[in-house]
Amino acid sequence: MLASRHVSTLADLPLIASGKVREMYGLSAPDDPSSASAQLLMVASDRISTYDAVHPTPIPDKGNVLTGLSVFWFEKTRQILPNHLISATDGVPEEVRGRALVVRRLQMLPVECVVRGYITGSGWKDYQRTGTVSGIELPGGLRESERLPEPIFTPSTKAESGHDEAIDFERAAELVGDAELMRRVAEVALELYSFAAEHALANGVILADTKFEFGIDEGASGAGDGLVVGDEMLTPDSSRYWPADGFEPGRGQPSFDKQYVRDWASAGGWDRTPPAPAIPPDVVAGTRARYLEAYERMTGEPFQAWLDRTGARAAG
């Protein structure tokens, strides 16, 4: 029997890239001869990583939540900047519905575009050592996790392996090869972050920082430079989500989504070197509930609505 003309099965698609918790596949170009560019299928798995190691136990619906959150933000920020999203349904194979997106293939800029509203993680480390982050001088006396006077753009390299390295704006402009474009990227990244952080905070979530990936849509029609936001957007895997309730500078903050896993793993004596341990059912359930809560707090709709809209398979 012939397969559907428009929806392939995942196994037939070429795997183009894979990360720790997601995969990217190539899709053949649509029949419409007016749509110039190639399309990709980005698939989010239910895998979870802590301390850079992937646990052998999945979190049911994590891929659905992250994909639904990306779509929420893509739609909500379209007035600020176009994005690569084509569809969460048309062309998405049945087996990955709800956790996969058909996107436009872009020429990705070779830098990670990080925006920080709070001083934490590698930014906190760099600040303690140098008083600066990505070449930006910060006020003295900041405490860990403190809100910054204003959000800062702190680009980093895209490391093929190992950790991304902070770079200053000038180096980022050099890598991109266009200082004017880089100024626009920084400006729009700050605008996207501020917009999202304000929405999150109104819903009890601190969006401490986030990483955007931008690209150029070479098939872009009409005016403009073709700059679009790609990849995943403002998800808990690309951002730090903290509960606003209990926020207290002077210490690290609990992660909105992963804290049960981290606490459980630490208490069990895992030394944070791979392999990451299997996660017990109660910790899986608590973590899944936190992901669903993040979706519902951000979007204001039941998570089930996302599953229904996309025809997602039942979790588990």
What is the binding site for ligand Q0Z (CB under 6 A)?
A: 17-19, 22-24, 40, 42, 84, 103-106, 108, 215, 230-231
Please say which residue, 40 or 265, places its beta carbon nearer to ligand Q0Z. Answer: 40
Angle of helix 281-299 versus helix 259-267 axis, rounded to 10: 160
Minimum distance between the CB of residue 158 and ligand Q0Z, rounded to whole angstroms?
Answer: 9
Is residue 94 helix, strand or coil?
helix
The least distance separating ligand Q0Z from the CB of residue 25, rounded to whole angstroms, comes to 9
Q: Cβ atoms within 10 A of the Cβ of 152, count?
A: 20
Least Å distance between CB 40 and ligand Q0Z? 6
Convert 153-178 to b/e letters by CB count within 10 Å (16 or more is b): bbbbbeeeeeeeebbebebbbeebee
In the block, residue with structure tokens 């359930």? 285
The residue (of 165 and 301) whose beta carbon lies closer to ligand Q0Z is 165
Let me know if 201 is exposed, middle or buried by CB neighbors in 10 A (0-12, 13-18, 19+): middle
If the CB atoms of residues 39 and 287 are measured against ligand Q0Z, the closer one turns out to be 39
Helices (H), 177-255: 179-202
State the nearest-atom distance from the C-beta of 228 to ligand Q0Z, in Å.
8
CB nearer to ligand Q0Z: pick between 19 and 226: 19
Integer Cα distance of 146 and 280 in angstroms: 33
Residue 16 Cβ, how far from ligand Q0Z at the closest point, in Å?
8
Q: How far apart are CA 307 and CA 63, in angstroms?
A: 11
Q: How far is the CB of 215 from ligand Q0Z (least distance, A)?
A: 6
Q: Compare residues 43 and 182 and give the one whose CB is closer to ligand Q0Z.
A: 43
**Packing angle between helix 281-299 and helix 303-310, nearest 10 degrees?**
90
The residue among 103 and 284 lying less far from ligand Q0Z, judged by its C-beta, is: 103
